[in-house]
């Protein structure tokens, strides 16, 4: 049952990561930041998203490898699946599986932030 729980919670987390990342990008675009400042803002917010994903993974007591897996799936696979669903609501978060250089850098930043967060030992009870 643990594997099914991890897989289902991981899929839900990947959907939330997709929505959060697309929200971060639209927020930065709406702020009017261009080129370098926009990339720095996206990297900072992606690192925060990675930390948040690691904290949620730890809170739900999922295996540590779930956080990086969820981040990668949320960046690449989930937008592709949402693109296949013909709905206006899903098209807002849809995309293709090809990552631009900025997206790949943001994903790497989020994954490193998640790994560092998971590397910090949890409190002893």
Q: Model confidence over 114-125: pLDDT tens digits?
A: 999 888 776 654
Whether pTM exceeds 0.75:
yes
Question: pLDDT per residue over 20-63, tens digit each?
Answer: 998 888 888 888 888 788 888 889 999 999 999 999 998 888 88
How many angstroms separate the CA atoms of 70 and 7, rounded? 10
* Residue 87 within any structural domain of the chain: yes
pLDDT at 114: 92
* Residue 47 within any structural domain of the chain: yes
As for how many domains the chain has, the answer is 1
How many angstroms separate the CA atoms of 113 and 5, rounded? 24
CA angle 29/35/38 to nearest 5° reads 45
pLDDT at 123: 67
Q: Which domain covers residue 51, as residue numbers? A: 2-119
pLDDT at 125: 46
* Residue 23 within any structural domain of the chain: yes
* Residue 67 within any structural domain of the chain: yes
* Residue 37 within any structural domain of the chain: yes
């Amino acid at each position: 049952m643990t594997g099914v729980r991890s897989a289902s919670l991981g899929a839900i987390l990947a959907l939330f990561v997709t929505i959060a990342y697309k929200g971060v990008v639209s927020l930065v675009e709406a702020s009017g930041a261009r080129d370098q400042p926009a990339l720095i803002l996206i990297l900072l917010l992606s690192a925060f998203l990675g930390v948040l994903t690691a904290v949620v993974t730890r809170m739900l007591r999922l295996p540590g490898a779930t956080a990086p897996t969820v981040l990668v799936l949320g960046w690449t696979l989930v937008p592709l699946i949402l693109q296949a669903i013909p709905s206006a609501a899903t098209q807002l978060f849809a995309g293709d599986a090809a990552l631009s250089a900025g997206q790949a850098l943001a994903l790497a930043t989020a994954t490193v932030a998640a790994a560092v967060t998971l590397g910090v030992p949890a409190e002893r009870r």
